[in-house]
Structure 1
Amino acid sequence: MRILFIGDIVAEAGLRTLHAVLPTLKKRLAPDITIANGENVSRGFGMAPPHIKGIFSAGVDVITTGNHVWDKREGFEVIGRDERILRPANFAPGVPGRGWALYDRGGWRVGVLNLAGRIFMNPAENPFIIAEEAVEALKSAGAKAIFVDFHAEATSEKAAMGHHLDGRVAVVAGTHTHVPTADGRVLPGGTGFISDVGMTGVRDSVIGVEKVPSVKRFKTGMPYMTPSAEGKGTLMGALFEVDERGLCVNVARVEENEP
């Protein structure tokens, strides 16, 4: 089983890059399932229905999200209805959508779990406890391999989650910071781990937004608007290879520039 995971798709440039790069990338890497974090696709904040449709039409099978998932009210209905879209499982009970689901791909039943961190993030239920409950539910439902998108700020929290679930899931991959990390590896128990896969958007930017207003904002402390960056994009992500045990045997970073 080969799982391709794509980092946070940021604004129109990120979606354009996804369409330009992903079809060729999938032909080369031959993933059985393609997962992408889409919470920043609509001008950097949330997911409007046309942009959700655009992510799927580019070749993504499952969309994960995070703290920006509710930033576009017009997307609530689709998020609540479409089982290919996940929001963090440790959000408050009763909110739209689902935090985990099962997908049949390549003769495998793959469980995908979305979690949000709590360090320097919006309030949420304890992701470590929710992770245990969700993993057991996914295994009881027949998941052969489980992929976890942990959308969190603190590297320490992500590393702790990796070790917490080591040997129980195939992959724990981090999102949210938009900055790819160099710590991709297979943990001792067989779980593939990386603190952050990065973003899909304009690299020559400040994590996906224009440089000049971002610098002015930091320099002056004034609330300058920071529009999404324009320019050539880069798709960032990782490819995870999973064996018959449902554990990871290889982690490889993926990076492709828009032509």
Structure 2
Amino acid sequence: MSQATASHLQDSVTLNNGVRMPWFGLGVFKVQEGNEVIDSVKTAIKLGYRSIDTAAVYRNEEGVGQAIAEAAREYSVPREELFVTSKVWNSDQGYQSTLDAFDLSLKKLGLDYLDLYLIHWPVKGKYKETWKALEHIYKSGKVRAIGVSNFLAHHLEDLLTEAEVVPAVDQIELHPYLTRVETREFARSQGIQIEAWSPLAQGLVLKDPVVEGLAAKYGKTAAQVVLRWNLQSGIVTIPKSIQPARIAANAELFDFELSREDVAAIDALNRNQRVGSDPDNFNF
């Protein structure tokens, strides 16, 4: 990886509360606790990644925390340079249970504070109470920014009727087959930053003829083309990988730019096709 790429990995967007969040990071969904997650996170940090996204339900917060501690010792990357995200799981939603879940995540990660804490899913009848707990945590200074995950435009609209703090981030499934235009536009109107999970649709979009054609045109991989589309669309993105070569390759996004026409061609691939659950119909 080039030095230029490593420095670009620290490029950031300013959230609605003034906190800066890297545009690009590493997701660790389904990365196994222990050596697998430790090695993935350390590899990413060594390469220049500064944003790590985990969650209580991933059951790998302890490994993420160990990797952060080891990276500080071995690569001289202090905690202050990192942007660490975790999320409260559905079964812990509610006011006091969310406060307790946050403290447990912090303990498992071995950290004094988080950079971003999210409500993982919009559990009906609970997410407003949960948000009040996040606001309390935010005001206490234990987290630098708070936000939500898997909230569609109508969930955001409902939350904002009572929220004292506007969410800084909405992390949603977003890729060329699911472009979520309505939610993106509403979030933008409220100053909420959109972040994509599963930006490659678990590899589904990589075989698309349009994406393959653009990869050939730019001399890049299909994954690099899609991730570049995310960045040029103003979307924070956190692809997951456990392979060092792919963690490095995913970040090689800063030496090319898609034309306006090619961004539009990828936009046009939308078919409202999810690889994850429906935020309006989930039972977990």
- Under a length normalisation based on structure 1, what TM-score does the superposition of the two structures give? 0.49
The answer to which structure has the higher strand fraction is 1
Structure number, greater radius of gyration:
2
